[in-house]
């Protein structure tokens, strides 16, 4: 039996990378998936791939930093499928590895708007719907930077710590209403995320990569997608407020 049969899942930032991998995994397990992404071209390509493979999927262009876009995402999903069971807050951007002494206001504001405010607004919008439906699941994409201090830029580290905190808060406050919220903290995963950063802060990068030689091996998208599947399924029904580290033991050193 498929683990997400008849579930409706919104995955933000799912046009490519980890988000796309999660969407594909959910679809194979029976979920109706909503591909929510800022990149319309990537979004359409992913929806086509899934639809051509016989899965149920549709796309919504969303900038998670905009309240109106988030409202549109919820409205269109409910109009099409009648409900939402799972939300994966995956959309995020990097901070060019800027160290604290080199942080630029525009970088800080952009990272916080997408990586923190976006998660807050989507969660805020989801809670009443989950309460009405007597339950729901949120999977947040944190980072190893949300659990440590030296593996990312200053702003990104602060943002991902906030995501970990929001995860715990939701689980604590709404767990009794059958609402679960967990997070994943990936280490180095083979995607184009790091390559998308420009104007890298040399000092920040040097400090953050001091221990990369201790990484046993980089992870693959499927490694994170499989964890996201577990957290969305009933198999993890007794897990709430947890951030799962997925770095092959890197942070254990």
| Residue 89 in domain | yes
Which CATH number goes with the domain that contains 42?
3.40.50.720
Distances (CA, A) of 70 to 89, 141, 175: 12, 17, 23
pLDDT above 80 for 92: yes
| Residue 1 in domain | no
| Residue 252 in domain | no
| Residue 250 in domain | no
Structure confidence by residue, pLDDT tens digits, 221-244: 999 999 999 999 999 999 999 999
Average pLDDT, the chain: 94
* 175/102 Cα distance (integer angstroms): 40
H or E element, residue 50: helix 40-52
Phi, psi values for residue 34, rounded to 5°: -110, 115
| Residue 72 in domain | yes
Structure confidence by residue, pLDDT tens digits, 13-70: 999 999 999 999 999 999 999 999 999 999 999 999 999 999 999 999 999 999 999 9
| Residue 3 in domain | no
Range of the structural domain that residue 118 is part of: 8-243
The whole-number average pLDDT for the span 106-121 is 98
pLDDT above 70 for 121: yes
Q: What is the pLDDT of residue 212?
A: 73
Domain tally for the chain?
A: 1
Structure confidence by residue, pLDDT tens digits, 140-194: 999 999 999 888 999 999 999 999 999 999 999 999 999 999 999 999 898 866 6
* 173/153 Cα distance (integer angstroms): 30
| Residue 16 in domain | yes
Q: What is the pLDDT of residue 179?
A: 98
pLDDT above 90 for 252: no
Q: Which two tokens stand for residue 252?
A: 């254990």
Q: Which of 26, 55, 156, 174 is catalytic?
A: 156
Q: What is the pLDDT of residue 144?
A: 94
| Residue 217 in domain | yes
pLDDT above 90 for 1: no
Asked whether 55 and 27 are in contact (CB, 8 A), the reply is yes
Q: What is the pLDDT of residue 195?
A: 58
Q: Is 253 a catalytic residue?
A: no
pLDDT band of residue 196 (cuts 50, 70, 90) is low
Percent of the chain with pLDDT over 70: 97
């Amino acid at each position: 039996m498929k683990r997400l049969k008849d579930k409706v899942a919104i995955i933000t930032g799912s046009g490519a990378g980890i988000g796309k991998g999660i969407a594909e995994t959910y679809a194979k397990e029976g979920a109706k998936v909503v591909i929510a992404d800022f990149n319309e071209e990537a979004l359409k390509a992913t929806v086509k791939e899934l639809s051509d493979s016989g899965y149920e999927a549709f796309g919504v262009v969303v900038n998670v930093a905009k309240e109106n876009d988030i409202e549109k995402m919820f409205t269109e999903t409910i109009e099409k499928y009648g409900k939402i069971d799972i939300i994966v807050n995956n959309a995020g951007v990097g901070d060019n590895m800027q160290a604290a002494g080199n942080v630029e206001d525009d970088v800080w504001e952009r990272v916080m708007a997408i990586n923190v405010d976006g998660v807050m607004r989507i969660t805020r919008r989801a809670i009443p719907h989950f309460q009405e439906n007597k339950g729901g699941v949120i999977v947040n994409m944190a980072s190893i930077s949300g659990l440590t201090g030296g593996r990312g830029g200053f702003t990104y580290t602060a943002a991902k710590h906030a995501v970990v905190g929001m995860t715990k808060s939701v689980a604590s406050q709404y767990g009794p209403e059958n609402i679960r919220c967990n997070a994943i903290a990936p280490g180095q995963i083979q995607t184009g995320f790091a390559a998308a950063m420009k104007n890298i802060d040399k000092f920040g990068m040097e400090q953050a990569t001091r221990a990369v030689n201790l990484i046993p091996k980089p992870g693959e998208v499927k490694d994170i997608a499989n964890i996201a599947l577990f957290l969305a399924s009933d198999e993890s029904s007794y897990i709430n407020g947890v951030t799962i580290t997925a770095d092959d033991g890197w942070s254990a050193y």
